With several copies, the nearest count.
Chain A
Amino acid sequence: MKIGILLKEGPYNHQAADSAYQFIQAARKRGHEIESVFFYNDGVNNAANKAEPPQDDRNIYQRWSDLGAEGVNILVCVAAAKRRSINEEILIENATITGLGQLTDIAIRADRLVTFGD
């Protein structure tokens, strides 16, 4: 199955980013294609590259970058990003800033859209 993910909260502050990641890992293990992960609202904060999370904790930013390297589209809404001080200069690797229309496009193409947020 083709599954799209919508993530609406920032990393660490809310569990949504963790839940989305765990869901994606399990879905891929069951043979599904995670076509895209779309960051909206504070979710765009997942795509910033200046973080230094505690050594003994997970690195949420790195997870998204790694997923991107494995072929999952990591998409960041440009309008939400501009409000929240995220731009190309400070973007994690393998993520793309794109228009909000992409989300509708994903919802149309994918068999499922699963939202994680507050």
Chain B
Amino acid sequence: MREEDGEIIKDFMYVMRRAPHGTIYTYEGLEMVLISAAFDQDISIAFIDDGVYSLLKDQDTEDLQIKGFVKTFKALDGYDVEKLYVDRQSLEERGLSEDDLIVDVEVLESAEIGKLMAKQDVVIHN
């Protein structure tokens, strides 16, 4: 937490730990991130466990007649949400690599993400 021009700026970490589509949590979690981006806070997203599946390329929900949202991750950059951390172990257990993901992320060890997490003022799991 710090102050800039009399405004409070907090460190927010959104934790995405669920698979997309099966439940709405990732989708509504993403809406939360996008809206909070307007508040000029210091925002990061951590993708761990099934959350890494959210970032897979070529997700196409058309046959299910469900509105897709994966492309919205690509829009995060435009909202100045640039700190996207992905847990290496979660990727590896799923046989995935950075190349499988739709956006540029920082792949980190769990311990490193843990240290970043510990510094947050606000942590919200989706």
Contact = CB atoms under 8 A, between A and B. Distances in A.
Binding between chains A and B: yes
By size class, the interface of chain A is 20 to 34
B125 A107 contact: no
Interface in B1-28: 8, 10, 12, 21-25, 28
A69 B65 CA distance: 21
Contact of A57 (B23, B41, B67): B67
Interface residues of B, number: 23
B122 interface: yes
A107 B122 CA distance: 7
Nearest to A6: B124
Contacts of A22: 64-65
16 contacts: A15-B21, A15-B66, A56-B67, A57-B66, A57-B67, A58-B66, A58-B67, A101-B38, A104-B36, A104-B39, A107-B122, A107-B124, A108-B8, A109-B8, A117-B125, A118-B23
Interface of A: 6, 12-15, 18, 22, 40-41, 54, 56-58, 79-80, 99-101, 103-105, 107-109, 113, 115, 117-118
Interface of B: 8, 10, 12, 21-25, 28, 31-32, 35-36, 38-39, 41, 64-67, 122, 124-125
